[in-house]
Amino acid sequence: MPPPLGPPFAAALEFAARLHAGQFRKGTTIPYVAHVLAVAALALEAGADEEVAMAAVLHDTAEDCGGQPIVEEIRARFGPRVAGIVAECSDTFVAPKPPWMERKTAYLAHLPEASEGAKLVCACDKLHNVRSMIRDLRAEGPSVWARFNAKPAAIIWYYTQVAEILSRGEDSLILKDLRAAVAKLELIKSAALG
């Protein structure tokens, strides 16, 4: 059993909340910090240690709040393992971001070699994203797809690929949940188009 979370986790949470202040989930009024809290909760429920949980709350800070300098600040504040996981979970540090398919293809190419901590954070991140899409599609209908920089088929392809790559040699509950959520998202898309 991992030791309880301590001041380092609280400091990471405060840092993430500060960096994501004023940001919202795409097309919603949900504060962005809700997502990082959900990802951390999923990771902890899956057995993450404190450093992986810290990386979970910080996983989007570099990509969305300042790039490589944020990775270096995380390294200085929270250590090399946390910074490494955050870097591995980022699909770009470039602003403006490169085209969606280019970023996602590059991310998929590096995912098999990612650390176990990064794979867990990735699985939790994608699971929460897919569950959020399902919730929003049920509440608002197909107009939700317009929030994204890719067509529904490409989005589902990406999440399917992530689940497949992460499932190689591993079949944890979090990956079963991810595969089930992606399948449900595919059904919702097919029903809307059918």
pLDDT digits (tens, 9 = 90+) for 33-67: 999 999 999 999 999 999 999 999 999 999 999 99
pLDDT digits (tens, 9 = 90+) for 129-139: 999 999 999 99
Contacts 24+ apart (CB under 8 A), 65-74: 65/19, 65/20, 66/19, 67/93, 67/94, 67/95, 68/93, 70/19, 74/15
Q: Is the pLDDT at 181 greater than 90, yes or no?
A: yes
What confidence score (pLDDT) does residue 194 get? 46
pLDDT digits (tens, 9 = 90+) for 67-89: 999 999 999 999 999 999 999 99
The angle, 0 to 180 degrees and rounded to 10, between the axes of the packed helices 33-45 and 7-19 is 150
What confidence score (pLDDT) does residue 94 get? 87
Domain boundaries, the chain: 7-193
Architecture in CATH of 7-193:
Orthogonal Bundle (1.10)
- pTM higher than the cut 0.85: yes
pLDDT digits (tens, 9 = 90+) for 85-97: 999 999 999 888 8
